[in-house]
Structure 1
């Protein structure tokens, strides 16, 4: 084999190897950038007997904002709607004390570290508000679908009744 041919084959192999390394590193950097702004929504039940805020809390414990895409609310296993005012009115109809609410509309961001009370009472009384705690702790299931700033991930946060395993 002539030296010129060996040099040109070697140069081609080195160029292809460099291209592969560059492509792999680029993919790795993109993946890292996505993970560095990944949101992580958690839904919690909060019960405070000292007369402080009690209800359902949404927390973004991730590294980036969560963009809400949709939400689904179920009561006793039946879908009643999304987390909006119409669903809130259905949940609280017929009760003398109305809890406070924060709705979630598609496209709304939940910022990093932000804590939002979705449904709550400020001065919780165990006897007077037993219906509320039963609703929040036993009957209500909330699913929130969200994405990062990159979009397309379809992340999901779920609050399930204690008797129902998460899907």
Structure 2
């Protein structure tokens, strides 16, 4: 073997190693960037005594915007479809008073740090509005499916059981 052939072979091995390191670093950077702007929606049952409010609150506690892909509503274990006016009327038919409703439709965006009440009863009284808290805490489940702006993750959030 000639010296030129050994040098050429060594240079090729070094170049391939360098290419491999670049590919690994690039993949790692992409993964890091996706995680650094990951949204994190939390759905909470809220009863605030000083403010006299109660409801179901969606909060984006993550670092990036959340793009809503769908919502699912379950009432007494029965699937009602998406969270919209039809599902709202089904749940609150015959209720003594109607809470304020907010819907997160497909394509809606929840920015980092923002919160929105999916349901809000204001003012709320523990005695006269116990029916509302029973629905929010035990009978109604709203799941939010969402992703980051990168797309394809299919994260989901739902209120924890109380």
Is 2:89 aligned against 1:89?
yes
Is 2:77 aligned against 1:57?
no
Q: Which residue of 2 aligns with 1:121?
A: 121
CA distance in 1, matches of 2:152, 2:158: 19
CA distance in 1, matches of 2:34, 2:85: 33
Describe the SS at the equivalent of 1:146: strand
Count of aligned pairs: 162
Q: Which residue of 1 aligns with 2:73?
A: 73
- Report runs of 4+ in structure 1 exceeding 6 Å deviation: none
Q: Which residue of 1 aligns with 2:28?
A: 28
CA distance in 2, matches of 1:67, 1:107: 6
Deviation of the 1:50 alpha carbon:
3.3
Give the TM-score of the pair, scaled to structure 2.
0.96
- What does the per-residue CA deviation read over 1:17-39, in whole Å, with 9 as the maximum and x for residues that have no partner? 01100100110111111111110
Is 2:160 aligned against 1:139?
no
Q: Which residue of 2 aligns with 1:15?
A: 15
C-alpha contact 2:141 2:159 (8 A) present in aligned 1: yes
C-alpha contact 2:37 2:63 (8 A) present in aligned 1: yes
Deviation of the 1:51 alpha carbon:
4.8
- What does the per-residue CA deviation read over 1:48-92, in whole Å, with 9 as the maximum and x for residues that have no partner? 233522111100000100000001110111111211111111111
C-alpha contact 1:68 1:104 (8 A) present in aligned 2: yes
Q: Which runs of 5+ in 2 are unaligned?
A: none
CA RMSD after TM alignment: 1.1
CA distance in 2, matches of 1:79, 1:157: 16
Q: Which runs of 5+ in 1 are unaligned?
A: 163-167
